[in-house]
Amino acid sequence: MSTLADLVALVAAELRDAAHAVWSEDEIVMHLRSALGDWSRAVPRRLAAVLPAEAGRREYDLAPLEGLMEVTDVWYPYDVAHPPEAPSRPAWSLPCDGVLRLEGVDAPQGDGSDDLRVFYTAAHTIEGLDGAAATTLDAQGEALVALAASAHAALQVSQAAIGTVTVTGWAPKQYTEWAALRLEAYRRALDELCRRAAGDARVVWG
């Protein structure tokens, strides 16, 4: 998978600005961060984790779920050593940010046989961006995030370049039209990906 430096270089190449004469590395990173957030909201990671139960405790801190966006399902009680064939899904709530509460069931015994298995969506990461240790995008995700970042970078310059002579010789109108074409391509690809995902009954959890 690509690192932040790889994706910065890719976006700069697509912008025909490998030497960063128009866009600084920091500006490209800013646009990559924005595009990554957009991608994460549309195509989040689907993950699962086991939270060890504590005797008598109904509320659990969700901080261990790195990148958490939304809790989608909870299995309880859950025994890692002997997973149930038909998982039990109790009522649960999120009384405040970062806290999951079990509702309408007996409190855990905390003996390892009644842990919580939590299914959730999480934001994608790029190695080297905001301290991330790995890139979670697949090849298609990397390409489309770079596509969106380059489009937003072009729009940024098109607004700033009105009434000026640009280093590349491009006029603001050219930047705007080029950016619009790239955003249209990005949105078409994203819509198609979301349609395929919605039509597939299989859900793969990490």
* The model's pTM: 0.84
Token pair of 164 as six digits? 């000026």
The pLDDT assigned to 157 comes to 80
Token pair of 6 as six digits? 């790889």
Query: Angle at Cα 183 formed by Cα 32 and Cα 18, nearest 5°?
Result: 50
pLDDT digits (tens, 9 = 90+) for 37-79: 999 999 999 999 999 999 999 999 999 999 999 999 999 999 9
Listing from the earlier edge strand, what are the strands of the sheet with 68-78?
45-51, 115-122, 68-78
The pLDDT assigned to 43 comes to 92
pLDDT digits (tens, 9 = 90+) for 120-161: 999 999 999 999 999 999 999 999 999 999 999 988 887 655
